[in-house]
Amino acid sequence: MEYLINGLSGAFSLLIHMDAATLSAIYATLLSTCYAMTVALLLGLPLGFVLGYCTFPGKRALRLISDTLLAFPTVLIGLLVYAFITARGPLGQYGLLFTLPGMAIGQAVLALPIVTSWTAQAVESLDPRCRETLLTLGANGRQVAALALWECRYSIGMVSITAFGRVITEVGVAMMLGGNIRYATRTMTTAIALETSKGDFAQGIALGLILLLMAFIINLMLAFFRHRGRV
């Protein structure tokens, strides 16, 4: 029990004195997550909207692939991206391995199916009678699509926050593609795993408290979007 008390006191000391290694892990986590989410949202939101709104040959197959990728093992994502960005891979010339952008690629692959599938589900859940009513009132296809996107804006907000929370807590992809390099690619999750294995509970607890705070903020935002979506 004493080591837990010492760990907590050490954790608060690190946070109060703004320990450089702790701040570096927080910065690397937020930066790589923002990179990944930017890519995932730019690609996933249009893809999800098309899958949920439009009807075309092969739609069911694409939706099945997207839903299947929701359960894609993260270590396999790390392995595949590693094969592409390693020095001997197709993208090796860009030097992405063990960098924040390289790590963000793997995280974007992780987040993309979440954004795509759940955006499609949000669009499909809209009342089809609204579309029919707008068409009978003379609205064109672009106006109907824009209204459909506006109607599911809060659901899309929930999708984005959920994907963000999934990415920011990822360990395997960050470890494999980032290399857990101190002051460079070490994230909060990889730092917690490493420092705990070394017996340094103070930094692990400090970063764990930050993650808990982030989880609380994420859940508050989810509750907001859920409430707004029901109003």
CA 104/CA 146 separation, integer angstroms = 30
Percent above pLDDT 70 for the chain: 87
- What pLDDT is attached to residue 137? 62
Each residue of 127-174: pLDDT tens digit?
Answer: 776 666 666 666 676 777 777 778 888 888 889 989 998 999 888 899
Each residue of 179-198: pLDDT tens digit?
Answer: 989 889 999 999 888 877 87
DSSP 3-state helix, strand, coil percentages of the chain (rounded to 5)? 80, 0, 20
- What pLDDT is attached to residue 134? 64
Instruction: Please give the DSSP secondary-structure letter assigned to residue 71.
Output: G
Q: What is the DSSP string of 76-143?
A: HHHHHHHHHHSTTSTTGGG--TTSHHHHHHHHHHHHHHHHHHHHHHHHHTS-HHHHHHHHHTT--HHH
Cα radius of gyration (the chain): 21
Q: Hey, what domains does the chain have and what are their CATH numbers?
A: 31-187 (1.10.3720.10)
CA 135/CA 99 separation, integer angstroms = 50
**pTM value > 0.85:** yes
Question: Is the predicted pLDDT of residue 9 greater than 80, yes or no?
Answer: no
Q: Are 208 and 50 in contact (CB under 8 A)?
A: no
CA 74/CA 110 separation, integer angstroms = 7
Closest CA to 187 of 100, 70, 88, 110: 100
